[in-house]
Amino acid sequence: MIALDTSSIIAFLDGSTGKDVLAVDLALEQRQAVLPPAVLCELLSVPGLPRRPRTLFGQLPLLDVLDGYWERAGLLRARVLTKERKARLADALIAQSCLDHDVPLISRDRDFRAFSRLSSLQLLE
């Protein structure tokens, strides 16, 4: 399993290039792609997202929210903020989902680097 982040999915849909876009394509092709719940929420929040991508990503498996998830996500975010790094709430939720399931995250969003430095988050950029 490989988790997809919103930034790389949008780049994939836009026809952008990059290692992350190739990784998204491969993960989808090999049916290894999963979504943290916060990513699905972000995707569905994109105004004017065409029906086809919305349907495709709505069919991908979601990572389950495990007991204690909210506490762990809050503590992870606090560790990043303590280091005076940017730690958006959605990014903390995405990172914690990946940590809970020990799956790497494909993302072009550099803000995840702070989470990977302070935890075992595997980041594929």
**What does the alpha-carbon distance between residue 76 and residue 13 come to, in Å, rounded to a whole number?**
30
**What does the alpha-carbon distance between residue 9 and residue 6 come to, in Å, rounded to a whole number?**
5
Given this model, what pLDDT does residue 101 score?
98
Placement of tokens 């929210």 in the chain: 65
pLDDT in tens, 5-53: 999 999 998 899 999 999 999 999 999 999 999 999 999 888 887 787 7
Given this model, what pLDDT does residue 58 score?
80
CATH class label, 2-124: alpha beta
Question: Within 13 Å of residue 55, how many CA atoms lie on the same side as its CB?
Answer: 3
Look at the pTM and tell me if it is higher than 0.75. yes
Q: Which residues partner with 123 through β-bridges?
A: 105
pLDDT in tens, 86-125: 899 999 999 999 999 999 999 999 999 999 999 999 999 8
Given this model, what pLDDT does residue 16 score?
95
Tokens standing for 58?
Answer: 């709505």
Using DSSP's 3-state secondary structure scheme, residue 30 falls into coil
| DSSP secondary structure code for residue 62 in this structure | B
Given this model, what pLDDT does residue 124 score?
93
pLDDT at 54 over 90: no
